[in-house]
Copies of this chain bind each other. A is one copy, B any other.
Amino acid sequence: MTLFGIDLTNFIDTYLSIAIKIIILLIAYAIVSPLGKKVITKALAKTATRESISQARVKTLEKLLLNIYTYILIFVFITMLFGIFDLELGPLLATAGVLGLAIGFGAQGLVSDIVTGFFILLEKQIEVDEYVSTAGYSGIVEEIGLRTTKIRSFDGTLNFIPNRQMEGVSNHSRGTMRALVDIGISYDANIDHAMSVLQKICDEFQQDERFVEGPDVLGVQGFGSSEVVLRILGRTENMQQWAAERDIRKRIKEEFDTNGIEIPFPHQVNITKQS
């Protein structure tokens, strides 16, 4: 059949084929869309159960993943629709390719941020209100976002750190902390005497409920240029280590004064020669 020189049969044939393709596509979308969502939800729930992640955290992750999933699906659906209508998609995609390259390079930081942020959340590397050090910043975590984490330094500064910068996180709020005091005594002093005095102080602090373990005198840590260095080591409840160290230091000074043990100043031997 021809109309004004156009082959109608071919036209109908083509459009029927297009219609069938669209229907298949719609069915595929109707199946894939909820299926994928279920898979994501279940996989996350399973992971959450297995790794005991808090309900709030799971919500955040689920919302994120469903969003990403939906955007990709819609994008693919539209692209394929265009393809069916035979609308010269090649150019569109080639264009997208060139743009994609430019953007891919420019935005790779963004993707890195999200990937890293996702794993920081999933692996519970840091929690809000924990004291952490990372990427040269140190302080209390205020907010963990997918792109940026906010850490409040002890001096009050609020630091915004892109997640990809957090290559290695030191979390100082996960367990007991070390209290360590190095104290120098004179080369003239009796080491045994000084150590027994220090151990007496340690025995006192072992009653202190801040201490989980020790403190104890380790021994002669080193020979300084003017002093013999002794070391005291213990473990305290988290975040108690600085106060504990300060208290030990105060006690040592008092006890050394009482026992006549000197904390020596720098020494120098002077040999006088006439010019």
Contact = CB atoms under 8 A, between A and B. Distances in A.
Contact of A268 (B76, B137, B269): B269
Interface of A: 1, 4-9, 12-13, 16, 21, 24-25, 28, 72, 75-76, 79-80, 82-85, 87-112, 114-116, 119, 123, 125, 133, 135-137, 145, 147-148, 152-162, 164-165, 167-172, 174-178, 180, 183-184, 187, 191, 218-223, 225-226, 228, 235, 238, 241, 243, 246-247, 249-250, 253-254, 263-275
Given A82-B91, A105-B111, A225-B266, 6 more contacts: A80-B88, A80-B91, A110-B115, A110-B119, A123-B147, A162-B168
Contacts of A171: 157-160
Contacts of A13: 5-7
A215 to B, nearest CB: 14
A135 B165 CA distance: 13
Nearest to A109: B112
A93 to B, nearest CB: 4
10 contacts: A79-B95, A105-B108, A106-B110, A119-B147, A162-B167, A220-B253, A267-B270, A269-B272, A269-B273, A270-B271
A109 B115 contact: yes
A107 B96 contact: no
Nearest to A75: B95
Contacts of A28: 87
A36 to B, nearest CB: 12
A266 B263 contact: no
Given A21-B87, A91-B80, A226-B265, A168 B157 contact: no
B267 A267 contact: no
